[in-house]
A and B are shown apart, each in its own frame.
Chain A
Amino acid sequence: SQTIHQWPATLVQPVGSPLSLECTVEGTSNPNLYWYRQAAGRGLQLLFYSIGIDQISSEVPQNLSASRPQDRQFILSSKKLLLSDSGFYLCAWSVQANEQFFGPGTRLTVL
Chain B
Amino acid sequence: GEDVEQSLFLSVREGDSSVINCTYTDSSSTYLYWYKQEPGAGLQLLTYIFSNMDMKQDQRLTVLLNKKDKHLSLRIADTQTGDSAIYFCAERDYGQNFVFGPGTRLSVLP
Complex CA gap A73/B90 in Å reads: 24
The answer on a CB contact under 8 Å between A100 and B96 is no
Give the residue of B40, B41, B98, B103 whose beta carbon is less than 8 angstroms from that of A100: B98
A44-57 interface bits toward B, Cβ cutoff 8 Å, 1 = contact, 0 = none: 10100101000000
Quick check: is B10 within 8 A (CB to CB) of the other chain? Answer: no
Contacting residues of chain A (83-111) with chain B, CB-CB under 8 angstroms: 90, 92, 94, 97-105, 107
**Bound Cα distance from A70 to B16, whole angstroms:** 48
Per the bound structure, the CA–CA distance linking A36 and B35 in Å amounts to 14
Consensus secondary structure, chain A interface: strand
What residues of B have a CB within 8 angstroms of the CB of A97 in the complex?
Answer: 92, 96
- B88 touching A51 by the CB < 8 A rule? no
Which of chain B's residues has its CB closest to A6's CB?
Answer: B42
Name the interface residues of B1-48: CB closer than 8 Å to any CB of A: 30-31, 33, 35, 40-45, 48
Number of interface residues of B (CB under 8 A): 23
Inter-chain contact A98/B96, CB cutoff 8 Å: no
Q: Give chain B interface residues in 48-99, CB to chain A under 8 Å.
A: 48, 50, 88, 90, 92, 96-99
Q: A44 — which chain B residues lie within 8 A by C-beta? A: 43, 88, 100, 103
- Of all chain B residues, the one with the shortest Cβ separation from A107 is B40
A65 at the interface (CB under 8 A from B): no
Complex contact B97–A46 (CB within 8 A): yes
A94 to B90, CA, bound (A): 14
Q: A42-B102, A46-B98, A49-B97 are in contact. Are A102 and B44 (CB under 8 A)?
A: yes
A–B complex contacts, Cβ < 8 Å, 13 sampled: A42-B102, A42-B103, A44-B88, A44-B100, A46-B98, A49-B96, A59-B97, A97-B92, A98-B30, A98-B48, A101-B45, A105-B40, A107-B40
Binding site for B on A (CB under 8 A): 6, 32, 34, 36, 42-44, 46, 49, 51, 59, 90, 92, 94, 97-105, 107
B residues adjacent to A (C-beta < 8 A): 30-31, 33, 35, 40-45, 48, 50, 88, 90, 92, 96-103
